[in-house]
Amino acid sequence: MQIGSGGLYISNNKGATYITLASNRTQFADADLWYRTGNNTDGYLIYNKEAGPNKVLAAPTTMKGTQGGDSYPIMVDKDHVPEGYTSTWLFAKSNDLGGRAIQQPQKGQVYIKGGKKHVE
């Protein structure tokens, strides 16, 4: 899954404390391969091939730091999303990212940029 004008890949960081955007290149490793289930009305769950079918992409619902810059996405058990996190996402256009972004439906313009969450 790529976002932003630089086409940066969102990759599973295995046991790391958060997901980063590290590269605009891929070897098509399992860490770089994502799929989603759901719809753009109710939202999507986003899965990573390397993490497996029981983990989903989630992020805090409360923004920390400047414009949410200290709120990082993580992979969590799909049936045990931690309190204060959401695993439901929408895909939307973003002028700031030069293309498309993923956002939390209940928060409006909350999106992942540079591996961190931001608020427009």
| Segment 42-68, tens digit of pLDDT | 888 999 999 999 999 988 887 665 544
Q: Which residue has the higher pLDDT, 84 or 23?
A: 84
Q: What are phi and psi of 105, to 5 degrees?
A: -60, -35
For 52-98, the DSSP string reads -TTEEEEEESS--SGGGTT---EEEETT-PPTTEE--BEEEEETTTT
Q: What are phi and psi of 32, to 5 degrees?
A: -95, -5
- Look at residue 108 and tell me whether its pLDDT is greater than 70: no
pTM: 0.74
Q: Which residue has the higher pLDDT, 60 or 117?
A: 60
Query: What is the pLDDT at residue 32?
Result: 85
DSSP category for residue 38: E
- Look at residue 113 and tell me whether its pLDDT is greater than 60: no
Q: How many residues does the chain have?
A: 120
Residue 104 structure tokens? 């939390």
